[in-house]
Protein backbone atom coordinates (compact mmCIF):
# COMPACT_ATOMS: atom_id res chain seq x y z
CA UNK A 1 0.00 0.00 0.00
CA UNK A 2 1.21 3.49 -0.66
CA UNK A 3 1.94 5.87 2.19
CA UNK A 4 -1.17 7.91 1.32
CA UNK A 5 -3.37 4.93 2.15
CA UNK A 6 -1.66 4.05 5.42
CA UNK A 7 -3.68 4.43 8.59
CA UNK A 8 -1.96 4.32 11.96
CA UNK A 9 -4.39 3.52 14.80
CA UNK A 10 -3.43 3.53 18.45
CA UNK A 11 -1.93 0.20 19.63
CA UNK A 12 -4.97 -0.50 21.81
CA UNK A 13 -7.32 0.04 18.87
CA UNK A 14 -5.24 -2.22 16.64
CA UNK A 15 -5.30 -4.97 19.27
CA UNK A 16 -9.07 -4.60 19.50
CA UNK A 17 -9.40 -4.86 15.71
CA UNK A 18 -7.24 -7.97 15.69
CA UNK A 19 -9.30 -9.56 18.47
CA UNK A 20 -12.58 -8.79 16.67
CA UNK A 21 -11.12 -10.09 13.38
CA UNK A 22 -10.12 -13.42 14.92
CA UNK A 23 -13.38 -13.74 16.87
CA UNK A 24 -15.48 -13.00 13.78
CA UNK A 25 -13.57 -15.57 11.71
CA UNK A 26 -14.03 -18.15 14.47
CA UNK A 27 -17.76 -17.38 14.70
CA UNK A 28 -18.03 -17.69 10.92
CA UNK A 29 -16.47 -21.14 11.03
CA UNK A 30 -18.79 -22.09 13.91
CA UNK A 31 -21.89 -20.99 12.00
CA UNK A 32 -20.76 -22.97 8.95
CA UNK A 33 -20.30 -26.09 11.07
CA UNK A 34 -23.74 -25.60 12.64
CA UNK A 35 -25.22 -25.24 9.17
CA UNK A 36 -23.51 -28.47 8.13
CA UNK A 37 -24.87 -30.34 11.16
CA UNK A 38 -28.42 -29.11 10.50
CA UNK A 39 -28.13 -30.09 6.84
CA UNK A 40 -26.96 -33.60 7.72
CA UNK A 41 -29.83 -33.93 10.21
CA UNK A 42 -32.28 -32.75 7.56
CA UNK A 43 -31.04 -35.39 5.13
CA UNK A 44 -30.70 -38.35 7.51
CA UNK A 45 -33.01 -37.95 10.52
CA UNK A 46 -36.60 -39.10 10.94
CA UNK A 47 -39.26 -36.95 9.20
CA UNK A 48 -40.15 -34.81 12.22
CA UNK A 49 -36.53 -34.10 13.17
CA UNK A 50 -35.56 -33.52 9.55
CA UNK A 51 -38.35 -30.99 9.11
CA UNK A 52 -37.33 -29.19 12.31
CA UNK A 53 -33.72 -29.04 11.12
CA UNK A 54 -34.83 -27.64 7.76
CA UNK A 55 -36.79 -24.86 9.46
CA UNK A 56 -33.85 -24.07 11.77
CA UNK A 57 -31.46 -23.51 8.87
CA UNK A 58 -33.15 -20.20 8.14
CA UNK A 59 -32.03 -18.94 11.56
CA UNK A 60 -28.41 -18.94 10.32
CA UNK A 61 -29.04 -17.51 6.86
CA UNK A 62 -28.55 -14.78 5.91
CA UNK A 63 -27.93 -12.41 8.82
CA UNK A 64 -25.61 -14.34 11.18
CA UNK A 65 -23.36 -15.49 8.33
CA UNK A 66 -23.55 -12.14 6.55
CA UNK A 67 -22.72 -10.16 9.70
CA UNK A 68 -19.65 -12.22 10.64
CA UNK A 69 -18.51 -12.23 7.00
CA UNK A 70 -18.73 -8.45 6.72
CA UNK A 71 -17.15 -8.00 10.15
CA UNK A 72 -14.23 -10.24 9.19
CA UNK A 73 -13.84 -8.37 5.90
CA UNK A 74 -14.02 -4.89 7.46
CA UNK A 75 -11.58 -5.60 10.28
CA UNK A 76 -9.26 -7.39 7.87
CA UNK A 77 -9.16 -4.36 5.57
CA UNK A 78 -8.54 -2.01 8.50
CA UNK A 79 -5.73 -4.22 9.79
CA UNK A 80 -4.23 -4.37 6.31
CA UNK A 81 -4.16 -0.63 5.66
CA UNK A 82 -2.84 0.02 9.17
CA UNK A 83 0.26 -2.11 8.62
CA UNK A 84 3.18 -2.09 6.20
CA UNK A 85 1.87 -5.30 4.64
CA UNK A 86 -1.15 -3.69 2.97
CA UNK A 87 -3.92 -5.61 1.23
CA UNK A 88 -2.42 -6.83 -2.05
CA UNK A 89 1.33 -6.64 -1.52
CA UNK A 90 1.58 -10.11 0.01
CA UNK A 91 0.02 -13.15 -1.59
CA UNK A 92 -1.42 -14.66 1.58
CA UNK A 93 -3.15 -11.39 2.51
CA UNK A 94 -4.59 -11.13 -0.99
CA UNK A 95 -5.75 -14.76 -0.85
CA UNK A 96 -7.58 -14.13 2.43
CA UNK A 97 -9.16 -10.97 1.06
CA UNK A 98 -10.44 -12.70 -2.09
CA UNK A 99 -11.81 -15.65 -0.07
CA UNK A 100 -13.58 -13.28 2.31
CA UNK A 101 -15.18 -11.23 -0.48
CA UNK A 102 -16.30 -14.28 -2.47
CA UNK A 103 -17.78 -16.19 0.48
CA UNK A 104 -19.57 -13.14 1.87
CA UNK A 105 -21.04 -12.31 -1.54
CA UNK A 106 -22.30 -15.87 -2.02
CA UNK A 107 -24.42 -15.71 1.16
CA UNK A 108 -27.17 -13.45 -0.24
CA UNK A 109 -26.73 -14.50 -3.87
CA UNK A 110 -26.74 -18.30 -3.61
CA UNK A 111 -27.16 -19.49 -0.03
CA UNK A 112 -30.17 -17.35 0.90
CA UNK A 113 -32.45 -18.53 -1.95
CA UNK A 114 -31.60 -22.18 -1.24
CA UNK A 115 -32.07 -21.75 2.52
CA UNK A 116 -35.43 -20.06 1.93
CA UNK A 117 -36.61 -22.97 -0.22
CA UNK A 118 -35.44 -25.50 2.38
CA UNK A 119 -37.16 -23.52 5.15
CA UNK A 120 -40.45 -23.43 3.24
CA UNK A 121 -40.23 -27.17 2.52
CA UNK A 122 -39.54 -27.79 6.20
CA UNK A 123 -42.59 -25.83 7.32
CA UNK A 124 -44.76 -27.70 4.84
CA UNK A 125 -43.29 -31.00 6.06
CA UNK A 126 -44.06 -30.13 9.68
CA UNK A 127 -47.68 -29.49 8.76
CA UNK A 128 -48.03 -32.65 6.68
CA UNK A 129 -45.90 -34.94 8.83
CA UNK A 130 -43.64 -35.89 5.91
CA UNK A 131 -39.91 -35.36 5.62
CA UNK A 132 -38.67 -32.21 3.82
CA UNK A 133 -37.58 -32.56 0.23
CA UNK A 134 -33.92 -31.55 0.01
CA UNK A 135 -31.13 -32.76 -2.29
CA UNK A 136 -27.77 -33.96 -1.03
CA UNK A 137 -26.28 -30.97 -2.86
CA UNK A 138 -27.48 -28.91 0.12
CA UNK A 139 -24.31 -30.10 1.86
CA UNK A 140 -22.15 -28.31 -0.69
CA UNK A 141 -22.38 -24.69 0.62
CA UNK A 142 -21.51 -25.37 4.29
CA UNK A 143 -18.77 -27.81 3.29
CA UNK A 144 -17.07 -25.40 0.89
CA UNK A 145 -17.47 -22.38 3.16
CA UNK A 146 -16.20 -24.08 6.34
CA UNK A 147 -13.25 -25.57 4.45
CA UNK A 148 -12.30 -22.18 2.98
CA UNK A 149 -12.59 -20.36 6.33
CA UNK A 150 -10.58 -23.07 8.09
CA UNK A 151 -7.94 -22.87 5.35
CA UNK A 152 -7.68 -19.09 5.80
CA UNK A 153 -7.22 -19.50 9.57
CA UNK A 154 -4.64 -22.25 9.03
CA UNK A 155 -2.80 -20.00 6.56
CA UNK A 156 -2.48 -17.29 9.20
CA UNK A 157 -1.12 -19.76 11.77
CA UNK A 158 1.26 -21.37 9.27
CA UNK A 159 2.80 -18.09 8.17
CA UNK A 160 3.00 -16.85 11.75
CA UNK A 161 5.23 -19.87 12.47
CA UNK A 162 7.44 -19.01 9.52
CA UNK A 163 7.65 -15.39 10.64
CA UNK A 164 8.43 -16.09 14.29
CA UNK A 165 10.82 -19.00 14.04
CA UNK A 166 12.22 -18.74 10.54
CA UNK A 167 12.04 -21.23 7.71
CA UNK A 168 15.13 -23.18 8.85
CA UNK A 169 13.96 -23.74 12.42
CA UNK A 170 10.44 -24.60 11.30
CA UNK A 171 11.73 -27.09 8.74
CA UNK A 172 13.80 -28.76 11.46
CA UNK A 173 10.77 -29.00 13.77
CA UNK A 174 8.59 -30.48 11.04
CA UNK A 175 11.09 -33.18 10.16
CA UNK A 176 11.07 -34.86 6.75
CA UNK A 177 9.60 -32.63 4.08
CA UNK A 178 9.68 -29.62 6.39
CA UNK A 179 12.07 -27.63 4.22
CA UNK A 180 9.70 -27.78 1.26
CA UNK A 181 6.73 -26.69 3.39
CA UNK A 182 8.66 -23.84 4.97
CA UNK A 183 9.93 -22.71 1.58
CA UNK A 184 6.38 -22.69 0.24
CA UNK A 185 5.23 -20.59 3.19
CA UNK A 186 8.06 -18.13 2.69
CA UNK A 187 7.23 -17.85 -1.01
CA UNK A 188 3.61 -16.98 -0.23
CA UNK A 189 4.73 -14.31 2.19
CA UNK A 190 7.07 -12.49 -0.20
CA UNK A 191 5.87 -9.14 -1.51
CA UNK A 192 4.95 -9.12 -5.18
CA UNK A 193 5.92 -6.65 -7.84
CA UNK A 194 3.39 -5.10 -10.16
CA UNK A 195 4.17 -7.77 -12.74
CA UNK A 196 3.15 -10.43 -10.18
CA UNK A 197 6.68 -11.76 -9.49
CA UNK A 198 8.10 -12.05 -6.01
CA UNK A 199 10.66 -9.40 -5.13
CA UNK A 200 14.02 -10.50 -3.79
CA UNK A 201 15.04 -9.35 -0.38
CA UNK A 202 11.50 -9.01 0.99
CA UNK A 203 10.59 -10.08 4.50
CA UNK A 204 9.96 -13.77 4.98
CA UNK A 205 6.41 -13.34 6.29
CA UNK A 206 3.65 -10.95 7.19
CA UNK A 207 3.17 -10.78 10.92
CA UNK A 208 -0.42 -9.61 11.12
CA UNK A 209 -3.48 -11.06 9.40
CA UNK A 210 -5.21 -8.91 6.81
Between CA 201 and CA 205 the distance in angstroms is 12
Q: What is the largest CA-CA distance in the chain?
A: 68
Q: Mind listing the pLDDT tens digit for each residue in 116-173?
A: 998 998 899 888 877 776 777 788 888 888 988 888 777 766 655 655 555 434 344 4
Tell me the mean pLDDT in the region 57-79: 93
Q: Mind listing the pLDDT tens digit for each residue in 160-189?
A: 565 555 543 434 444 444 444 444 444 455
Look over the chain and give the mean of its residue pLDDT values, rounded to a whole number: 77
The reported pLDDT for the residue numbered 69 is 95
Residue 34 CB partners (closer than 8 Å, separation 6+): 60
Least confident segment among 6-20, 28-42, 190-204: 190-204
Least confident segment among 72-81, 122-131, 189-198: 189-198
Least confident segment among 5-9, 41-45, 70-74, 115-119: 5-9
The reported pLDDT for the residue numbered 48 is 86
The reported pLDDT for the residue numbered 22 is 87
Which SS3 state, helix, strand or coil, does residue 7 take? coil
The reported pLDDT for the residue numbered 160 is 54
pTM of the model: 0.71
Q: Residue 176 to residues 155, 181, 201: CA-CA distances in angstroms?
A: 20, 10, 27
Amino acid sequence: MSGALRWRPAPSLRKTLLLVHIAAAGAWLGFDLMLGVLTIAMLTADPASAAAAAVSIRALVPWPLLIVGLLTLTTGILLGISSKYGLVRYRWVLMKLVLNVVLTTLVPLLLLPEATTIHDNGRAALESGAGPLAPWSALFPPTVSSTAVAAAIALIIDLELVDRHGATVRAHDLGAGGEAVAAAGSSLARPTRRDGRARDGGPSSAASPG
